[in-house]
Amino acid sequence: DVLTGIISGLVSQGYEPLDAAVLGTYVHGSAADEALKRGYTHETLTASVILSCFSEAILKISDNCQKL
């Protein structure tokens, strides 16, 4: 599962489990939002589609954090 992989990756990078779960869920949702913007629907949204939108979601989140 993509969400589990994201959270596990964050934990392995040193994030506390709760922080990794919150951030991982947010990134996962943001990737799904990006997929919907690309024209995918809730019916066609798959794990591989979310994964293909992952890097774009991360870049948007990091850009927003730098603006703070």
Q: Residues 29-38: pLDDT tens digits?
A: 999 999 999 9
pLDDT digits (tens, 9 = 90+) for 42-53: 899 999 999 999
pLDDT digits (tens, 9 = 90+) for 5-27: 999 999 999 999 999 999 999 99
Contacts of 27 (CB under 8 A, 6+ apart): 6, 54, 57, 58, 61
Q: List the one residue out of 3, 11, 44, 48 whose CA is nearest residue 27.
A: 3
- ∠ CA 39-24-50, nearest 5°, is 25
> From CA 28, how far away is CA 58, in angstroms rounded?
9
What pTM value is reported for the model?
0.85
Query: What number is the average pLDDT over the span 59-65?
Result: 81
Taking a C-beta distance cutoff of 8 angstroms, is the pair 59, 38 a contact? no
